[in-house]
Amino acid sequence: MPGATTPGADATGTVDSRSDHGVGFVEVLVSIVLLGTVVIAVLVGLTTTIIGADEHRDQSTGIALVVDGLESVKNAAYTCSGYDATVGVTVPAGWTVTVTQVESGSDGTTWGACDPSDPLQRVTVVASDGASDLDGQVVKRQASP
């Protein structure tokens, strides 16, 4: 049949064995590997973001509890018999807020065991969620008589 062409043949009628118009195995394999790499990178990024946000939330909660505990100690009467850092503080489940150390001194540079006659106290408050501890200190001045 004159003028008829063979599929895949060029103008001279030569058939090119590489003229496959479909997608080969290598192309499919490369595209799967590339897409898989992109998906894994996105999932790793999301996981890192979630872990970072959780850690930030825990740190923010701990810092707020320490500040509230320090305010509670600051507003309490001057004493060496102990402070309750949870007075007026709402402590979330899983968290503790405690006074870990009460020291006293007369000049603000040297601290020792609590003595009610010393005019200054340094009180340490710790907030803990079991995994990490955050602490802070407040210096109290004994009221003048």
One-letter amino acid of 97: V
- The reply to whether 98 falls in a domain is yes
- Which tokens go with 4? 């008829």
- Which tokens go with 7? 């599929």
- The reply to whether 110 falls in a domain is yes
Q: Which segments within 3-145 are labelled E, that is strand?
A: 96-105, 112-113, 120-128, 133-141
Q: What share of the chain has pLDDT > 90, as a percent?
A: 68
- The reply to whether 17 falls in a domain is no
Give, in order, the Cα–Cα distances in Å from 21 to each of 12, 15, 56: 19, 13, 54
The sign of the torsion formed by the CA atoms of 83, 89, 90, 95 equals negative
Q: What is the pLDDT of residue 82?
A: 87
Considering its fold, how many domains does the chain have in total? 1
pTM over 0.85: no
List pLDDT tens digits, range 69-104. 999 999 999 998 889 999 999 999 999 999 999 999
